């Protein structure tokens, strides 16, 4: 046990300067994560979520992929430090509270500022898939609110 410990220390000293022993580049392969169904309180319709990574402190980003079947969407919600959505497939909708609904397509990038109430999801006729990168504040990355009742395309 002592020998194993000493060997561990030697290996540690042999690693490159400035690179912590456990800080490794992590690749999450497309389609490799078992999807979880979105909690019905927070979503309308069929939504699948795949966790991708949680950054180690001092970084505070968390990442995931979310797939919305046609007509599926989040409830109204906000993020304490904002969120980036990268639309990776399909056509979707995004709406900020008090603003018109906007259509988004594969390749579009959406920046949702801290504290802004909004929802996102698929259109009625297309699936939508996005990568979400969110900064967590003290481990919290979302505040859930009421469900979206009716979608008013005129805001």
* CA geometry: angle 33, 48, 42, nearest 5 deg: 135
Q: 32-40: long-range contacts (C-beta < 8 A, 24 or more apart)?
A: 33/65, 35/67, 38/66, 38/74
Return d(Cα 49, Cα 66) in angstroms, integer: 5
Of 4, 9, 13, 19, the residue at the interface with a second copy (CB under 8 A) is 19
Query: Is residue 13 within the footprint of a second copy (CB under 8 A)?
Result: no
Q: Is 45 left (phi over 0), alpha (psi -120 to 50) or beta?
A: left
Question: Which CB sits closer to a second copy, 40 or 97?
Answer: 97
Is residue 16 part of the contact set for a second copy (CB under 8 A)?
yes
- CA–CA separation, 142 and 7 (whole Å): 43
Computed from CA positions of residues 155, 65, 57, 20, in that sequence, does the dihedral angle turn out positive or negative? negative
Instruction: Assess 31 for contact with a second copy (CB under 8 A).
Output: yes
- Per CB under 8 A, 111 contacts a second copy: yes
Considering only 42, 69, 70, 81, the residue that binds a second copy (CB under 8 A) is: 81
Q: Decide whether 46 or 131 has the Cβ nearer to a second copy.
A: 131
Decide if residue 8 touches a second copy (CB under 8 A).
no
Binding site for a second copy (CB under 8 A): 15-16, 18-20, 23-31, 52-53, 55-56, 58-61, 63, 65, 78, 81-82, 84, 86, 88, 94, 96-99, 102, 104-118, 131, 133, 135, 137
């Amino acid at each position: 046990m002592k020998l194993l410990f000493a060997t561990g220390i030697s290996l540690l000293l042999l690693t490159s300067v400035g690179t912590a022993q456990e800080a490794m580049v992590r690749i999450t392969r497309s389609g490799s994560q078992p999807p979880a169904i979105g909690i019905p309180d927070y979503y309308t319709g069929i939504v699948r979520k795949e966790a991708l990574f949680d950054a180690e402190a001092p970084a505070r980003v968390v990442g995931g992929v979310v797939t919305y079947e046609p007509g599926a969407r989040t409830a109204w919600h906000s993020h304490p430090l904002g969120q980036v959505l990268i639309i990776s497939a399909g056509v979707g909708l995004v709406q900020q509270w008090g603003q018109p609904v906007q259509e988004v397509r594969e390749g579009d990038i959406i920046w949702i500022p801290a504290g802004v109430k909004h929802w996102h999801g698929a259109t009625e006729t297309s699936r939508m898939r996005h990568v979400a990168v969110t900064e967590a504040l003290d481990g919290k990355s979302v505040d859930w609110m009421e469900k979206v009742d009716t979608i008013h395309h005129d805001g």
